[in-house]
Amino acid sequence: MIKAIFFDIDGTLLSFKTHKVPQSTIEAIKTLKAKGIKVIVATGRAIKQVVGLDELEFDGYITFNGNLCLSKEKEVFFKNAIPKEDIQALIKYQQERKAFPCILMAEDENTINFVDNTVIEVFNLLNLPIYEAVGMEKATEKDVIQINAFLKPEEDADLIEHALKSCETSRWTHLFADVNVKGSNKGTAIDQFVKYLGINISETMAFGDGGNDIEMLKHAGLSVAMGNAGDDVKSAADYVTDSVDDNGIFNALKHFNVI
């Protein structure tokens, strides 16, 4: 019996085409709530970026790819920050090797060092306002939980080797990498929620479409990849449904008789 379901946002709950949640998904989640099944967001976004979901009510939030978990009331019960020495190494890396846009994400504030056309493309894709650029040193004032590094995929390894040695990257787009503490992801965050809710991992279900969803899909009791997901994501899931724009969530929940 499924007692908690974890949903990625971009490309899973929210359509990249319409920037809206399909009506079938809204109705499906309302049915889940009526049956007493916990509905939890699992995103790489910060909690302040969880927007466009106003018609939905959630029982918890996995943010920053599993490195900040919040209750229904948005109270933090788990946080895993990037070591400050890694942040200092990143600043040195930018000064000595290559400068590139970085979003430095703290619990209550996100900052960016500078904006280029790729940053603008990403924020337009997500339908979010662009942050005002500030110096990277400002990020050392608060715990940085996640970094969005606007690098090409083939540049990730050099960044980790020479700067962010305690971290690893994951991607849902070639445009930037999510950087988090090594070994901490949406999958490990499910474990935090299992303990928090007092349920078993076998009673969980997860939906996702991006590379940063793979560990979550591998770990959940039952996992579903969206039809718009890449092949690597689909191969990590138990089942592949239709795309977000073709009622994928509703169809999968009906397929498994969850609703």
Tens-place pLDDT, residues 88-128: 999 999 999 889 999 999 998 888 999 999 999 999 988 88
- Name the amino acid, one letter, at 31: T
- Please list, residue by residue across 30-48, b when 16 or more beta carbons sit within 10 angstroms of its beta carbon and e when fewer do: eebeeeebbbbbbbbbbbe
Q: Residue 67's pLDDT is what? A: 96
User: For residue 125, which phi and psi values (nearest 5 degrees)?
Assistant: -60, -40
Clarify whether residues 89 and 75 are in a common domain: no
Q: What percent of the chain has pLDDT over 90?
A: 87
Q: Is the pLDDT of residue 185 over 80?
A: yes
pLDDT band, very low/low/confident/very high, at 142 (cuts 50, 70, 90): confident
Q: Is the pLDDT of residue 249 over 90?
A: yes
Residue at which a domain ends, from 153, 181, 209 = 181
Q: Residue 71's pLDDT is what? A: 98
Residue at which a domain ends, from 181, 211, 226 = 181
Q: How far apart are CA 21 and CA 101, in angstroms?
A: 29
Residue with the two structure tokens 């920050």: 81
* Helix and strand numbers, DSSP H then E, in the chain: 8, 13
Mean pLDDT, the chain, rounded, equals: 95
Q: Is the pLDDT of residue 174 over 90?
A: yes
Q: Is the pLDDT of residue 228 over 90?
A: yes
Q: What is the pLDDT of residues 26-82, one digit of tens each?
A: 999 999 999 999 999 999 999 988 988 988 999 999 999 999 999 999 999 999 999
Please state the separation of Cα 105 from the chain's center in Å.
13
Please state the separation of Cα 50 from the chain's center in Å.
10
DSSP 81: P
Per the structure, the count of domains in the chain is 2
Residue at which a domain ends, from 181, 196, 218 = 181
Clarify whether residues 10 and 63 are in a common domain: yes
Clarify whether residues 11 and 129 are in a common domain: no
Q: Residue 127's pLDDT is what? A: 85
Domain CATH code at residue 122: 3.30.1240.10
Residue pair 55/13 in contact (Cβ under 8 Å)? The answer is no
Domain CATH code at residue 55: 3.40.50.1000
Q: How far apart are CA 49 and CA 43, in angstroms?
A: 10
User: For residue 76, which phi and psi values (nearest 5 degrees)?
Assistant: -75, 130
For 22, 60, 209, 230, 236, the CA distances from 15, given in Å and listed in that order, are 8, 21, 11, 16, 21
Q: Is the pLDDT of residue 139 over 80?
A: no
Q: How far apart are CA 242 and CA 102, in angstroms?
A: 33
Residue pair 64/180 in contact (Cβ under 8 Å)? The answer is yes
pLDDT band, very low/low/confident/very high, at 13 (cuts 50, 70, 90): very high
Q: What predicted TM-score, i.e. pTM, was given to this entire model? A: 0.86
Residue range of the domain that includes 34: 4-79+184-255
Q: Residue 138's pLDDT is what? A: 74
